[in-house]
Amino acid sequence: MSFFSFTAAPSTTVTYNPNTVSGGPFPSNILTTPDRTTATGLRVNLALQDEGFCDPGSHSAVCSNTELLNRLDGFSVNPRVMVCFSGPVNLATLSAGLQIIPVGNLGAPVPLNQITYDPGSNCAYGKPDNVLQQRTQYFLAVTDALKDTNGSSVTDDGGFRKCLGNADAYCVAVQAAKPTVVAHLNGAALVSGSLFTTLSATAWLESVRVAVDALPPATLPAGFPYLFKLSDLQSLTWKPDNAGFASQDIPLPALSGVDKVAFGLFLSPNYLNTSGPAAGTITTTGTQPVSIPGLLKGLTFGFLPVSYHVFLPAGTPPAGGWPVAIYGHGLSDNQFGAPTYIAGTLASQGIATVAMEITGHGFGPKGTVQVKSKFGFTFTESTPGRGIQLAAGQPIGPQDGCIVPGAIAIRDCGRQTAIDLFALVNTIRQTAGLGLGLNPQRISYVGQSFGSIYGSLFHAVEPAVKVAVLNAGGGTSVDIARLAIVGRPLSTEYLASISPALLNVATGQAPPEAYFRDAFNDAYPFRDQAPSNITVAGALQLQAAFEAADWLGMIGDPLAFAPHFQTQPLVGVPAKATLFQYGYGDLEVPNPTESALVRAAGEKKNAWFFRTDAAVGYGHPELLGITTGTVPEFPILPHRVLSNPTIFNYPAETSIAIAEQRQVADFFLSGGTSDTNPNSF
């Protein structure tokens, strides 16, 4: 006779409540609504009453910014997914049991990375191992490879099974997707999941570029440039439209190899709000084709003058004209800063350099360059800044209108600057090289730091520029702000604007092991770490706040555009040649974000990594003490090694900078086919 019997513990179930962001699985197309004005036919539709605020007691999938998110036509191409359970699960099985599968046989399943687990809510979170395709349906699949802590496979709580028999539009779409999903599971059983559509990252900017290209020739040029021979000049001085900032001399000795300099203006269509609470942002609309703002019967209302200058090589231009490199300068710099310190190297290789004033930079509209000749003449050229008046009666600062408060941050500054670059390229082409002997068929682009961020947008969308060098660029912009020493104050300001309670580290209370000893600890894992528990109080809400900003930023983030350089070219745009340059220990665009950009582009073979530690170890400790005065407590290398005002002050820095510059020149002259080893220079 048996007196005892064994009863197996019930297995843990997968919570199925996808019509809320707190239940999951998330993301889900249940949280969208049909919209014929968008490229996906959908628009995000989160509940405002539930998702408008964020504090440590709120849910942890989406945090604030809901009204802005509801203008988008899908979910992020770099989403943080969430799956919740009725009880604890085995962390070691999360990687095998969760994956993202493209619907319609559009590629291999995408595994998850950066997986974390919250023991309090029994919810798991993760990021896709690589950037997802835009405008694509995906299925977040939970399989029986995921085990609970008793070793049993997780099971459906009944909700997913019920959806497979329902006739509503979402469940019908799930039923249609199921065969494709199951075919990719390699024998594992599908337990639960959600169907979601990624947003259109590039559609709006593509539409603007088409509109710019369609402008009549008389629309874009704003006057022919004024040309000066450098050997005839005594000085060049930029006088910004802000009495609080000193004039800036353009050092003529740094321009060895340059023969002439020219100053001019072109007109660019402006989509950026320049006044009111929305100043510095672009009003998000549907993703269908857009028109030029204010263009009516040939009038140019809605256009702004953009200042540029050109450094021309010595000698006779080759057939077709000088190859030309557009230089995209960094955040808080200006057209007369970093571009000056590469122009000589490019000119010595027969390449002209063009630099323009980017959105939100160059101070106010009354800036000028004073040109003094050796013959006693003085010329004053208009070089209007692109800054925005943020406060009545106050002078325009060096980046006013580029970094806006809240989640948008630099997104729309980058998008408008990409539009300005479209207009610059079109102007060069329509004026036969600006009348300066430039070759409209040989335009390349080099961007440094922020110049690589907005340059990524430009590079992916502009068909006429087939070769680019992206130096010290990274993504996402949110990750840069989280991980960069100089970006942390912006992150703190953003979090505090949502709720001061999000700042989960009291003053002076950072634990000894903390890398950043400031106001918050988001506990994000780095790539390729094993799944782990989240133990930091408030970290989930911090992550949710950052993920909302990351999602909003995808329509202007380099990570969303990088796949279209080479592996997924946009319609009408050729595959591009791209060279990446970055360096060990970058404090301004940290290495994890730089490698993410290279990985998103799928071009590791064209990425060069400057070993700052090796250069210092070879007897050059002075490299760690180089500053420009803007961030004196931090070394600026390797972030600004390409073309920094100090590169001719230290022989070791000079040799490194010239090597990178020569690599840029060789890459351009070869049409992107020669990836010269910079150690050979």
Distance CA 615, CA 621 (A): 8
Distance CA 313, CA 114 (A): 49
Q: How far is CA 366 from CA 386, 396, 559, 636, in A?
A: 10, 11, 36, 31
Enter the tokens of residue 568: 């997924």
Rounded to the nearest 5 degrees, what angle is found at the Cα of 310, between the Cα atoms of 307 and 312?
A: 170
Q: What does the pLDDT read at residue 27?
A: 95
What count of other Cβ atoms lies within 10 Å of the Cβ of residue 553? 26
Enter the tokens of residue 610: 């400057």
Distance CA 371, CA 376 (A): 10
Question: Which phi-psi region, left, alpha or beta, contains residue 472 (left: φ > 0; alpha: ψ -120 to 50)?
Answer: left
Helix (H) or strand (E) holding 647: none
What is the mean pLDDT, run by run of 10 residues, along the chain of 681 residues? 54 90 90 92 81 50 78 95 96 96 86 95 96 96 96 94 93 94 92 96 93 78 84 95 90 94 93 86 68 48 87 95 97 93 97 96 94 94 91 84 89 96 94 93 97 98 97 95 92 89 84 80 93 92 92 96 96 96 94 96 90 91 79 76 90 93 96 86 75
Q: Among residues 419, 421, 434, 432, which one has the least CA distance to residue 465?
A: 421
Distance CA 295, CA 155 (A): 59
Q: What is the pLDDT of residues 547-566, one digit of tens each?
A: 999 999 999 999 999 999 99
Q: What is the DSSP string of 567-590?
A: TSPPTT----EEEEEEETT-SSS-
Distance CA 408, CA 565 (A): 24
Helix (H) or strand (E) holding 329: none
Distance CA 656, CA 119 (A): 49
Q: What does the pLDDT read at residue 294?
A: 54
Q: What does the pLDDT read at residue 53?
A: 45
Q: Among residues 272, 248, 306, 575, which one has the least CA distance to residue 415?
A: 272
Helix (H) or strand (E) holding 543: helix 539-553
Distance CA 663, CA 676 (A): 6
DSSP 108: -
Q: Tell me which amino acid residue 496 is.
A: A
Residue partners of 132: CB distance under 8 A and separation at least 6: 77, 78, 79, 100, 102, 110, 138, 198
Instruction: Provide the b/e sequence for 172-208 (b: ≥16 CB within 10 Å).
Output: ebbeebbebbbebbeebebbbbbbbbbbbbbbbbbbb
Cβ pair 294, 380 in contact under 8 A: no
Backbone angles phi, psi at 481, to 5 degrees: -65, -35
**SS3 for 597-643, per residue?**
HHHHHCCHHHEEEECHHHHHHCCCHHHHHCCCCCCCCCCCCCCCCCC
Q: What does the pLDDT read at residue 117?
A: 96
Residue partners of 543: CB distance under 8 A and separation at least 6: 60, 80, 125, 522, 523, 524
Q: What does the pLDDT read at residue 61?
A: 55
